[in-house]
Amino acid sequence: MQNNKKLIRNIAIGLAVVILIIVGYRLLRGGNSASETLIEVPVKRGPFIGEVYSTGQLQAENSTFIEVPKELSSRNINIFEIQVTDLVDEGTVVQEGDFVASLDHSAIEEMITAGEDELKKALQALEDARIDTNINMSNLRDGLLNARVEVEEKKLVLEQSVYESPAVKRQAALDLERAEQNLLQLQRNYELKQRQAVNSVERAREEVRRDQETLRDIENLFEALDIVAPKQGMVIYSYDRLGTKIKVGSTVSRWAPRIAELPDLSSMISKTFINEIDISKVKVGQKVKVGVDAFPDKVFDGEVITVANIGQTLPNGDTKVFEVNIKLFGSDKDLRPAMTTSNVITINS
């Protein structure tokens, strides 16, 4: 009897375990089925548009540049660079002839002082050359006069020795010959010294002329250091060769002459740089949507007008990029140079 009860208990436990295993298995199967549910969507046919995105900066397509004065290019002025000491605020609207910028006057004042000193030295050297020439040539002329007198004296002695012995006449003839040779030598020496004196004075005079020309060029440059607007327009600062905006304290030169510009705001372009991976996709003539960060609600149509053939590395950058210019169609009075743009170039559709 006890054995039967024990058997029944074992069977019940076994059935319970089997039921638990089946229930657990079904629960696990149910969870997996839920996670493997597929979502189906209909396939539609439509256009595929490829686009390249970039940020850029607005520039006027045409500008009148305000540069260092042309007097700085004089070959007589050895100034490699000069500092901007004053500059009107960017965005100032100026009229023709209005003040725009001033360059360092103190450096040119020092050059004027040095130039005046050099001219004084050159004038003194010219005067010394003239005095020396007059003294030397006067002495040479006196020597020639004495030599001519001596020749005449020797001729007279020879003439008076006609009744003298042959030896005396021979000596008189030799004395005359020596006197004539001495006169000839002095004449040649006089001509040589005269040419040398003329050249010496001419060199001194040429040095004076050069110093006068240099001083005149420096004085003209000094007068041109205050730069005025060549026409009416809005002043926008230019950038130096390192991409830094010109400001008071910046240096400019004949090789990097731009200080500011007066842009034509009726025709604008967006200057942007495309990385070397995408540049092969960008072509002249491609359409562009240009947004301006300052006016998020405005989008302008544009077109790629130039694509650089040679890449460059921008300051503070380490990758090659290529300059691309995008022309905006139409005009907008709110657009200003240096505004940031967002460009979407359609490369295919």
Task: Tell which residue, 314, 317, 323, 322, has the closest CA to residue 242.
Answer: 314
Q: 57: helix, coil or strand?
A: strand
**Successive 10-residue mean pLDDT values, the chain, 349 residues:** 56 65 63 53 68 92 92 86 94 94 93 93 91 84 85 83 82 84 87 86 92 94 94 91 89 92 92 92 94 93 94 82 94 88 89
pLDDT digits (tens, 9 = 90+) for 84-103: 999 999 989 999 999 999 99
Q: Are 262 and 66 in contact (CB under 8 A)?
A: yes
Q: Are 270 and 302 in contact (CB under 8 A)?
A: yes
pLDDT digits (tens, 9 = 90+) for 41-86: 676 665 667 899 999 999 999 999 999 999 988 888 888 889 999 9
Architecture of the structural domain at 42-62+264-349:
Beta Barrel (2.40)
CA 242-246-247 angle, 5° bins:
135
CB-neighbour burial class of residue 226 (10 A; exposed 0-12, middle 13-18, buried 19+): middle
For residue 22, what are the CA distances in angstroms to 14, 27, 30, 36, 37?
12, 9, 12, 21, 23
Residue ranges per structural domain of the chain: 1-40, 42-62+264-349, 108-223
Rounded CA-CA distance 108/284 in Å is 48
Task: Count the Cβ atoms, other than its own, within 10 Å of residue 106.
Answer: 9
pLDDT score of 161: 79
Sole residue written with tokens 């050059």: 111
Q: Are 223 and 229 in contact (CB under 8 A)?
A: no
- The set of residues, in sequence order, having a beta carbon less than 8 Å from that of 57 and lying 6+ positions away, is 270, 271, 272, 337, 338, 339, 340, 341
pLDDT score of 6: 57
